[in-house]
Amino acid sequence: MRIQNLRIQRKKMQKSKQYTYEDFKGIYVIFSREPYKTSIKDMSDIIVVEDDYYQSFNRWDFDMTSTIKDKTIEGNVLTLDLDRDENEMWGLHSESGTEQFELRHDGDKKILYSVTNDDSYYSMSNQDLQTHYTQSEIDYARIIMTIYGEPTLDQWAMWEEEWGVPVVVVIYNSAGDPTEVSDEVPYPNDVTHLSLTNQGMAAGIITYSSHGDGTIVRYPMPLHYHQEDQSEEGYRQLAQESLDDAEAIYIEPFEPYTVADFIGRVEFLYE
C-alpha cells in the first residue's frame, strides 16, 4: 500500500510540475528488453526532439525528419504540430502532422512515452551513458569501434548466429610487468588488453595504455611470432620493437546510442 501511494504521489508531482520544452528535448531510444542493460531494438525508431525539427530514424538508415511548426505543452504532455505533404512518400515523418508525447520518470530513467505510437522511449544522452554504464565499458566500446569500425546490424546478426553473444576478454598489466613476448622486456605503463580473438567481430588483441584525455597509446604486440631469430634475444628484440612502434590514437566518442548498443550486445569477461 505504501509503495502504491508513493507511485501515486510521484505521478501527481510529475503532472503538477511546470515543464518547458527544454525538458522534452533530446535523443530517445527503444531497448530490446531491459532498459540500459540490453541492446537497442533493431527495427525501432530512434527519435530526436530538437528546437526546430523532429527526427525519427532507425539503424537500417530509414530516416524521416519534419520541421516543427508549433509546439504545445500541457502538464507533462508535449504536442508537436509538424509539416507534412500528403504526396510525399519519404522524408517527412508524420502522416497526420501531429506527434504527442508524455514525459515520465522512473528513478533515474527519463522516459518519453509516445501517445501517438504507444511506445516508451528512453533518454540516451552522454549523461545517461555516465549514469547507467561503467566508464570502463564505455571506454572499451569506443576503443574497439575506433580501431575496428562500428559494426552494422547485419554483422551483429551474423556474429550472434555463429558465436552467440560476443565476448570481450579484458586483461590488465601493471607497469613493469613483462610483455607476453619476452620476460626481459617490461611494459613501460599500465596496459589493458582487449581480446576478441575467439569472436567473429575481430581477430586480434588491442593492447593499450590510456592517457585519460580521449587518446590511447596502442602497442602492436603480435599474436604470433614468426621472426627469423627464435632465440631469447630474438624474442626480446621483437617485444622491444613492438613497444617502440607504439601509436597514439584519438578515440572517437561515437553517438551515445551507438556506445550503449555495443555494450548491450557483448559480454565483458575480466581475467
Is the sign of the CA dihedral 132, 117, 81, 64 positive or negative? Answer: positive
Residue 5 carries which DSSP code? H
Q: Rounded CA gap, 135 and 192, in Å?
A: 14
pLDDT score of 203: 65
Choose which CATH entry (2.40.128, 1.20.120, 1.20.1280, 2.40.50) describes domain 13-130: 2.40.128
Residue boundaries of the structural domains of the chain: 13-130, 133-270
Closest CA to 262 of 161, 143, 162, 171: 143
Other C-beta atoms lying within 10 Å of the C-beta of residue 89: 6
Residues 6+ apart with CB under 8 A from 57: 45, 46, 48, 63, 64
pLDDT per residue of the chain (271 residues) written in tens, 0 to 9: 544 554 555 555 555 679 999 999 999 999 999 999 999 998 778 999 999 999 888 877 777 888 899 999 999 999 999 886 554 554 455 556 889 999 999 999 999 999 988 999 999 999 999 999 999 999 999 999 999 999 888 888 888 888 888 899 999 999 999 998 889 999 999 999 999 866 665 567 899 999 888 999 999 887 656 555 567 887 888 889 989 999 999 999 999 999 999 999 999 999 8
With vertex at residue 58, the alpha carbon angle to CA 23 and CA 31, rounded to the nearest 5 degrees, is 65
